[in-house]
Structure 1
Amino acid sequence: MLELVAMIGAAILIVWLPIESRKVAGGWVRPRHRGTPDEFRTQYRRQTSMFLWVGLVLGLGNLGLAALPDQSEAHRITRLVVGALWLGVSLAAAFSRRRLDAVAR
């Protein structure tokens, strides 16, 4: 069950991060944010950096767990898929951060 939640969460983040970062790069700010668009962009860049590292750790961790012996093939394949999806989150966050950095210059 946890693997299913991890797969769905990772798939949502892979789609959501580039879409929202494009909006933030265009000047969009959340309505509840009290500050300038530049402050929000800086805060959002920190958030994408966090997703980059979380995706990298969870992706490599799941790939490492898939390499352990004494597992059924179903568990191994599930861990490989979850690991690949979290590495995809890391890549999506890296590209989103690059887009935000390009706007800041």
Structure 2
Amino acid sequence: MRVERPWGWYEDLLEAPGYKVKRLMVRRGCQFSLQRHHHRSESWTVVSGDGGLFCDDQWHNANPGLMLTIPCGAVHRARGGEQDLMILEVQHGSLLSEDDIERLQDDYGRVIS
């Protein structure tokens, strides 16, 4: 099922104990929250589009084929560029829900103080 967000959408593709696979689409010119997770790590693979991926104080040019590992606790975000950015995300950890998102900055007013 596709879940719409202000920055684009995501859909869960596969889930089993300890891991989950998602497809994320970040609209061109949009970005999702600057965030971190306390119970999971993530691996991102860019499958189409362009933009930027941020992790641990470093931006990476996002082009098809780029793979990025996001350790548990690392501050990260993705941004669409000239085109929509499509990412396959694999999560590993003990809590694989939207409840494990700590938003540090958000363009859409979703940071909870």
TM-score for the superposition, normalised by structure 1: 0.22
Q: Tell which has more relative contact order, 1 or 2 (C-alpha 8 A, sep 6+).
A: 1
Structure whose residues are more often strand by fraction: 2
Which one has a bigger Cα radius of gyration? 1
Structure whose residues are more often helix by fraction: 1
